[in-house]
Chain A
Amino acid sequence: MHVPARSLSQDDSLVHRLDARAKLAALLGLVIICVSTPPGRWGAFVFYAVFLLAVAALSRVSPHHLLKRLLAVLPFVVLVAVFLPFMPGQPRVAVGPLSLSRGGLAMFATISTKGLIAVGAVVLLSATTPAAELLAGLARLRVPAIFVMLLAVTWRYLWLLADEARRMKRAAVARGFTGRWLWHARTVGRMIGALFLRSHQRGERVYLAMAARGFDGRAVGVPPARLRGGDLLFAAGSLALLIACRAVLP
């Protein structure tokens, strides 16, 4: 239906053409390495950011596009950490009328930075890799087939659900619904309820249709594909660089 064929990307670049496995290794590698870096190692964090920006520049995805996705997710990351500076404990710093914990402030900065870099890596990965390739990449990296299939089905039906929600909202708008005020929450709640019921019914129909075509609960794998030299170079080079930085930089 409205599943974008090339996921979030229409462009072509060196990064787009890399094998999904290479990008998965490098960018998910970055996420793990970044998240496991001890707080206060600002030199390393700056390098991770520079690395990410370099790949983003190579990919030629519009910065506007990346920023928009990043901003959509970021509030959730910040929300998790925003209360940390208000923790009790010494020493404290005064910021205007507020008295903040120095340790909490540092933790807030670290968590936000890690979140920013991790989300940035995932955004970049999805912006340069069509969903189908990502899924095949995961399967070829020996992620159990049933997980890959779950992800694939989720991806497919999320779009269907979004499409259904959009059409439902449109039909309500045609009858004068504006959905701007708090008392519209009831209407929105009902729509979500109706969507849920229908998703559930559809889930059962889809399962029956799968069973009718011989599905017995065991997902089938994807055919193997060879990695090219460039892919290996990118993945190995990126990982080596990142690991070295995590070990060496202050």
Chain B
Amino acid sequence: MTGEPLIDIRDLTFSYPDGTRALSGLTVSIHAGQRVGLVGPNGAGKSTLLLHLGGMLSGTGSIRVAGSPMDRSHLRAIRAAVGLVFQNPDDQLFCPTVAEDLAFGPRNMKLDEHEVRHRVTAALAAVGLADRGGKSPFHLSFGERKRAAIATVLTMRPQAIVLDEPTSNLDPRGRREIIALLERLGGTQVVATHDLELVRQLCGRVLVLSGGRLVADGPPGEVLADESFLLAHGLA
């Protein structure tokens, strides 16, 4: 692929304060428009990597998003460019109504109220919750909350959406709805997941993390076909 990557990670290494090495020497670049699956066993470092993309954690090495280095002066712009959707929707939703939660990001971006409302309506429709804007997030089903959480970053119109286990704990229909939603949304997406079927269905590229290292990077058709490789990294 040509041109500058949207997300460029070089030699990223990170240890938690208690000494746990979660990422070691990771180098990956992701171009605009790619939908990338991020897989790996529990504790592989997927969530840790996603937190780095949102500038929530910072390890050694370099991360550039849309050409800007991840530093204090670019953090605001990068957080607007990378829409981070956390695994637990309850972490993301805290406002009295779903609509207000969707307005939270754009208001932080200092958009005018008219534009904010326009985006909220559009995002609610995009995730199939058009009639739920006035409800309390506490009264939504888990699947609806998962979709509402995705909508909270859609209103920011990010350049990339980064999702942590979007289909975990969902029933088969809820899962299908999320997959259809991601497919419909398009754009640049990074999806950390244990759902290999989702990766096969949606992603043109898959990254396999294991013990904080990148152990495979390629089309799912090839990477996920190797049974012994999957077994070796706890994926089968």
Interface residues of A (CB under 8 A from B): 164, 167-168, 170-178, 187, 190-191, 193-194, 197-198
Contact = CB atoms under 8 A, between A and B. Distances in A.
Interface string B26-68: 0000000000000000000000000100101000000000000
Interface in B57-103: 76, 79-80, 82, 84, 86, 88, 90-96
B138 interface: yes
Interface in B101-116: 104-105, 108-109
Given A167-B86, A190-B96, A175 B153 contact: yes
B156 interface: yes
B108 A171 contact: no
Contact of A173 (B79, B93, B109, B156): B79
Contacts, number: 56
Contacts of A175: 79, 84, 104-105, 108, 152-153, 156
A153 B138 CA distance: 25
A173 B56 contact: yes
15 contacts: A167-B86, A168-B91, A170-B91, A171-B86, A171-B91, A174-B54, A174-B56, A174-B153, A175-B84, A175-B104, A176-B108, A177-B104, A178-B108, A190-B94, A194-B93
Contacts of B56: 170, 173-174
B52 to A, nearest CB: 12
A191 to B, nearest CB: 5
A90 to B, nearest CB: 55
A1 B126 CA distance: 35
A176 B94 contact: no
A155 B100 CA distance: 33
A157 to B, nearest CB: 16
Nearest to A177: B108
A159 B160 CA distance: 33
Contacts of A174: 54, 56, 79, 82, 84, 86, 153
Contacts of A170: 51, 56, 86, 91
A172 B79 contact: no
Contact of B88 (A167, A187, A191, A194): A167
Contacts of A190: 94-96
A191 B156 contact: no
